[in-house]
Structure formats: structure tokens, C-alpha cells
Amino acid sequence: MGGKSEPAKSESMATTTTSPDLINSSFFSFKSLKLKTKQQELLLRIAILGLVYILAFIARLFSVLRYESMIHEFDPYFNYRTTLFLTEKGFYEFWNWFDSESWYPLGRIIGGTLYPGLMVTAALIYWALRFLRFFVHIREVCVLTAPFFASNTTLVAYFFGKEIWDTGAGLVAAVLIAICPGYISRSVAGSYDNEAVAIFALLLTFYLFVKAVNTGSLAWALGSAFGYFYMVSAWGGYVFIINLVPLYVLVLLITGRYSMRLYIAYNCMYILGMLLAMQIRFVGFQHVQSGEHMGAMGVFLLMQVFYFLDWVKYQLNDTKLFQTFLRITVTSAILVGGIALGVGTASGYISPWTGRFYSLLDPTYAKDHIPIIASVSEHQPTAWSSFMFDYHILLFLFPAGLYFCFKRLSDATIFIVMYGLTSLYFAGVMVRLILVATPAVCLISAIAVSATVKNLTSLLRTKQKVSQTGSTKGAGSSKASSKVTLDQSQPFQKNGAIALLVGVFYLLSRYAIHCTWVTSEAYSSPSIVLAARGAHGNRILFDDYREAYYWLRQNTPTDAKIMSWWDYGYQITAMGNRTVIVDNNTWNNTHIATVGRAMSSNEDEAYEIMRSLDVNYVLVVFGGVTGYSSDDINKFLWMVRIGGGVFPVIKEPDYLVNGEFRVDKGASPKMLNCLMYKLCYYRFGELTTEYGKPPGYDRARGGEIGNKDIKLEHLEEAYTTSNWIVRIYRVKPPTNRL
């Protein structure tokens, strides 16, 4: 009976296998078009990459569609202003630009205190487009620079993934990084910040370096040096590269993976990269003089020692003799290096680590020593929720990826593991460094996904064959029979694999949904324009910032000096086109502390300070009417802390009641009479903000204010925006003495 059924089965199988050929012969024209498997794969790969490239770009356009094509947040406005200057005045003017519109009366040497990479990139794109006869506005170029570079990053991620694992992992990495919220948060359209191009440069440098290590080719090392140069020109985060790469080299040396390839790659990259980096004025000689860069130099010297030892080993045939020699050389090299570092540091030639660097290594350092760093919300330690928010499934794919990396350890996987672990530590220290960790997390997770899917699908495929050969009743080879036994040991292997695959794709689709949701809800707001839902579900826009800045731009004398907290400095100079006392480039702590002191003093004292700074207008941000919580009153304690850090007259406890910060009747008298309080709540006591609440009810803090009868003596209200978010006061000239 069995014999009867089998031929029938085989026949039916024969027909199924022949059917493609039959189709091909019947549609002969298609046969000539049929691609070889290799070509098919290439076509698929290019198509996927092309789609990912486009996806990465359009996923970042939510903000343009929801709001408009505009520059976001704070720092981007400075970048935009400088780019505008660059395109209008040319590179030399830009390089030598002394900006008298900020940090009045000190001014700022723009060319020497910025990373010009972003501006030059945008300007080059702009000029290229103009050359190609596309007369776009520089603003559009600036707005779309970040998405464009995000797209390019996906390509680099693909090549990087291909280099450390295989093409599949590369493709998955490209897809993951294209929509990863951790990266999107800094690269949506309009987020024209250094990070936009820096992540591309960072990943490119790493990729080229790994490629150089893998191939030992000078060309790739050279490429990596130039990638490093681009990174240095774009972002201060280059310090991460110049510390991670030596650390990686050191690990390779310790684990006995020293090779000529490594020697070539590192030396070329370090020497050329250093020389190139010195061309950036803001970095200058830091490469040979600052503590942060000494690790790289130490490893460079160590490489030479290794090379030398290798040579000696080759010359000496006696292992015992070599061991002694090795001991002596290594000790003396370390000694010499240590002494040189000690002398350099003691003599002041080598500067010690900066506060920022310390605060990266030790999360609690900034809180105690540098309030100005700690005051920035994006410098806070990361909460678990934001990891989950920014990484979603990558968070648990990451350890899986690490497992695969350790399973197939190579120079490249060691690199990605080190990159992943170090950057993840930094991401835990500071929220904004999630960005740096994102490419590594994506790559390692991509390895996990790709390896898992590959294993599962191969399981499925072999399973089918086994069942076919299995039906031939032991006529198959020994290989087939072994598979049969395997099959028998795990009876639900096929079903299990299918279930797992479905699970993987379910997770990935959840990831895609989560990313889109996060992008559209959380990361696409320009933060200049605030949106809220009205009572009838309609969308209400609070455009108060621009209202105020535009009022400044149009209706104040062109040489007016505006005092505000430093957060708004860049926006005032860029949108208001007026001189500010302090801005987001927090280079002079004393100056900021002076402003903090003025804000926290009473009006008379503040007036003296403002007179000494030639202030004409004071701008405060106030959310009491709209319930906008990130206003100056909520930032006020930082002003007190920063002011008090330089001027001990200002004491934080004076503004607190039992360690509590309050603005109502129970607030401390100093608080009720300081300049910031008065400017925010001037005439607010007469306004009814919410039905059923007494006049002067502060919606941002949910309480009735304590001082409703505010009289201003030296200032007068010059302008208040329609929702009271920005209030501008004019500083009156001193009254004539009688």
C-alpha cells in the first residue's frame, strides 16, 4: 500500500518542482529577464537600502507637516544665524567673526569658539544646490540637513553592520537606526544642531577605522582620519572617539590581538587625525596639551613599544632573554610615560580634565561643582523610562547581540562591544548621550535580530529537505539520517521556529509603531511654538516666543541690550536680532552669575547691576497664565544657585521656606521682592486666569501668588505677549538729580 502511495507523491512533487520551468518556458520573454540569484539579492538589497534611506528622511518630517519648516529649540538658532552669516559674508569673514551681539560687553569670537562643521556642511549643500540651479532658501537647507544626514547615517550603519557581521545584520542595522527614537530625537527636520551631522561623522569614523583594522589598508585608515577630522569640526563629542579608539587598541593589545593591521590603522588615524584636528581653532593644541587626549597619545607610544618588542623578538631567538627584555622595556616605558604625564600636569603644560569630562565619568560631580552644567535638563542622569522610550525592544535585543558578538569574537565585534558598553554607560550618566549610544545599540541589536532570524529560517529550510529525504525510507545519505535523528529529538522544531519568527516580526513591528508614535508625539515639537488642545478638540498654537522676539526686532533700537536668562540668548540674537548679555554658549560663568544675581536681587540692587551692564530691556518667560511649566520661575532656583556660586551674597536658603520653593503667601520675603518675581507677576494679581479661582492664580504652579501689589520703580512694561508667556520690560533711564 505504501509503495503505491509513494510514487504518486513523488510525481506530484516532480510537478511542483518543474512548474517554475514550465512557466518560464511558456512565458519565454520573462525567462530572458530573469535575474541571477546574485543579482536578485543585489537588487533587493539596494531596494531595501533605498527605501530605508527615504524612510529615515520622511520619518523626520513630522515637525514640518505639523508646524512649519522652522528651526527648533535653542542652539539650532545660533547655528542658523552663523550659517546665514557664512553664506552671506563668505568663509573668511565667518572664520574671523567677532560677534558683538552676544555676551555684551565682552563679545564672543565666533570663529574660534565654535565647531564649524555643521555650518560649513549646510553652506556647501546650499552652494551646491545653487550651482545646480536650485535656488532654495538657506533656511530650508538648514531645516533639512539633519534628516539628510540621518539618511546617510543609515547607509554607514549598513556598511558597518556588514563589516562586523554580515549583510543581513547591516540591513537590519540600517532599518533600526533609521527610526530609532534615540537618534530621531536629535535629528528631526529643524533640529539643526551639531549632533545632526556629528552622529554621521562618528559612525563613519568608527566604520572606517574598523575597516582599516580589518584590512590593514592605509587608504581606509586615511579615510578614518578624515572622518575624525569631520567629527572634530562638527561636535565636541569627538573626545569620545579619541578615547574609545585608544581604549579599543589597548584591549586588543592586552588580549594578544596585536597585528600589523592594527598598527597601521591606529598610527595613521592618530597622527593624521591629530594634525587635521588641530586645524579647528576651537580645538587647537588641546590634542597635545589636554588631559582628555593624553590616553590616545599614551596608546600611540605603547604601539611603538610593541612594534619594537616584536622586532626584538624576531631578532632574538632566546625566549628567556626576550622575557627579561620585555619586562624591562614595559616597566621603563610605563615609568617614562608616567613621569612625563606627571611633569606635564605639574608644570601646567598638560591641562587637567575639564569639569564636563569629570561629570561624564562621575554622575554626581556636576551637581556639586558646576551648577551650570547640572541646570540643563538634558544633562541629568537618564531614567529607565527614557531608555525604554528611546530604545524600546533594542533594550533587550542589545544583550542578545552582545551574546552573539562574544560567540563570534573578532577585532570588529570587540570594537562594537566596547563601543556599545562605554556609550551605554555615558548614556546612563547624561540623557543627551543616549544619542551617542544609539548607533551601537542599533548595530548590536541588529546582529541579534539578523543572527536569530537567519538561524530560524535555516532551520525551517533544512527541515523541509529532511522531510523529503526522510520519505525515501533510509535511502538518503548519512547526513540526511543525522538530520532525521535531530528532527526526532525535537519534534516541534519547525513549529517552534515559525512561532519564534512570528514573535520576532511582531516585536519588530511593535518597534516600528512605537518609533513612529514617539517621533510624532514627543520629538517633533519645535518648542518655539507650543501647541495645545482647545476645549472643542481644536488645536491652539501659542506663538508667544516669536511674537516677543519679533517685537524686539521691530520695535526696539537696533543697539538695545536685552537681559534674559541664558536659555533665550541664542533665540533673541537670531530672531530678535538684538544684543544679549548672556546666551547658551555658557563660556563665562561669572557673567551668567551676574545675570542670575540681578534676577534674584531686589529691584534697586538689580537696577544697579543692569545699569552697569547697559541693559535696556529685560525679558522673562512666564507660564502662569497658560500653565506652561518650563518658565523662569521654575528655573529660578538655578539662577540663585549659579548667582550664589560666584556672589556669596545670594544664598539659596533665603529663597526657600523650610527647604521648599513656593510663590504663594508663604514664600520667603526675599523671594517675593526679587526682580524675577516682580517681573513675572507684575499686574498678574489683577488677572483672573481660571474660572472659579481667585485673581492671580498661577496655573503653572497651581497656587495664588503671594505678592499681588507689585510696583515697579526702575522698569516699565514694554511688551507682554498675548498669552503672557514672554514679558519684556524697559529699563528706565535714571531720573535727573535735583
Give the interface with other proteins as residue ranges (CB under 8 A): 3-4, 6-7, 10-11, 13-14, 17-18, 21, 36-37, 67-68, 70, 133-135, 465, 468-469, 472-473, 475-477, 528-529, 541, 543, 546-547, 549-551, 553-555, 575, 683, 686-687, 716-722, 724
Indicate the residue among 123 and 728 with the shorter CB distance to other proteins.
728
Indicate the residue among 70 and 667 with the shorter CB distance to other proteins.
70
Indicate the residue among 244 and 625 with the shorter CB distance to other proteins.
625
Indicate the residue among 483 and 561 with the shorter CB distance to other proteins.
483
Indicate the residue among 327 and 465 with the shorter CB distance to other proteins.
465
Indicate the residue among 15 and 113 with the shorter CB distance to other proteins.
15
CB of 609 to other proteins, least distance (A): 22
CB of 39 to other proteins, least distance (A): 11
3-state secondary structure of 615: coil
SS3 of 28-89: the string is HHHHHHCCCHHHHHHHHHHHHHHHHHHHHHHHHHHHHHHCCCCCCCCHHHHHHHHHHHHHHH
CB of 472 to other proteins, least distance (A): 5
Contacts of 249 (CB under 8 A, 6+ apart): 262, 266, 299, 303
CB of 67 to other proteins, least distance (A): 8
Indicate the residue among 322 and 719 with the shorter CB distance to other proteins.
719
CB of 87 to other proteins, least distance (A): 15
CB of 541 to other proteins, least distance (A): 5
C-alpha cell at 67: 508646524
CB of 164 to other proteins, least distance (A): 21
The dihedral over CA atoms of 38, 204, 305, 290, expressed in degrees to the nearest 10, equals -170
Indicate the residue among 64 and 221 with the shorter CB distance to other proteins.
64
CB of 129 to other proteins, least distance (A): 10
CB of 159 to other proteins, least distance (A): 18
- Closest CA relative to residue 192, chosen from 240, 237, 150: 150
Phi and psi at residue 654, in whole multiples of 5°?
-65, -25
CB of 232 to other proteins, least distance (A): 31
- Closest CA relative to residue 622, chosen from 574, 669, 689, 558: 689
Indicate the residue among 43 and 502 with the shorter CB distance to other proteins.
43
CB of 653 to other proteins, least distance (A): 34
Cβ proximity of 212 and 236 under 8 Å: no
Indicate the residue among 135 and 691 with the shorter CB distance to other proteins.
135
405: number of Cβ within 10 Å: 24
Indicate the residue among 70 and 418 with the shorter CB distance to other proteins.
70
Indicate the residue among 25 and 629 with the shorter CB distance to other proteins.
25
CB of 239 to other proteins, least distance (A): 34
Indicate the residue among 543 and 664 with the shorter CB distance to other proteins.
543
CA angle 137, 138, 139 (to 5 degrees): 90
SS3 of 290-347: the string is EHHHHHHHHHHHHHHHHHHHHHHHHHCCCHHHHHHHHHHHHHHHHHHHHHHHHHHHHH
Cβ proximity of 420 and 394 under 8 Å: no
Q: Cα 644 vs. chain centroid, distance in angstroms? A: 32
- Closest CA relative to residue 143, chosen from 59, 68, 234, 52: 68
CB of 4 to other proteins, least distance (A): 8
Cα–Cα distance for residue pair 355/358, rounded to 1 Å? 5
3-state secondary structure of 226: helix
User: How does DSSP assign 8-26, residue by residue?
Assistant: HHHHHHHHHHHHHHHHHHH
Cβ proximity of 137 and 126 under 8 Å: no
CB of 627 to other proteins, least distance (A): 17
C-alpha cell at 91: 568663509
Cβ proximity of 55 and 176 under 8 Å: no
Indicate the residue among 367 and 546 with the shorter CB distance to other proteins.
546
CB of 574 to other proteins, least distance (A): 8
311: number of Cβ within 10 Å: 10
Cα–Cα distance for residue pair 516/496, rounded to 1 Å? 30
Residues forming beta bridges with residue 562, ordered by sequence position: 580, 617
Q: Cα 213 vs. chain centroid, distance in angstroms? A: 26
Q: Position of cell 532570524?
A: 453
Residues forming beta bridges with residue 720, ordered by sequence position: 727
Contacts of 722 (CB under 8 A, 6+ apart): 544, 547
Cα–Cα distance for residue pair 714/712, rounded to 1 Å? 6
Cβ proximity of 129 and 141 under 8 Å: yes
Residues making up the chain, counted from first to last: 738
Indicate the residue among 8 and 535 with the shorter CB distance to other proteins.
8
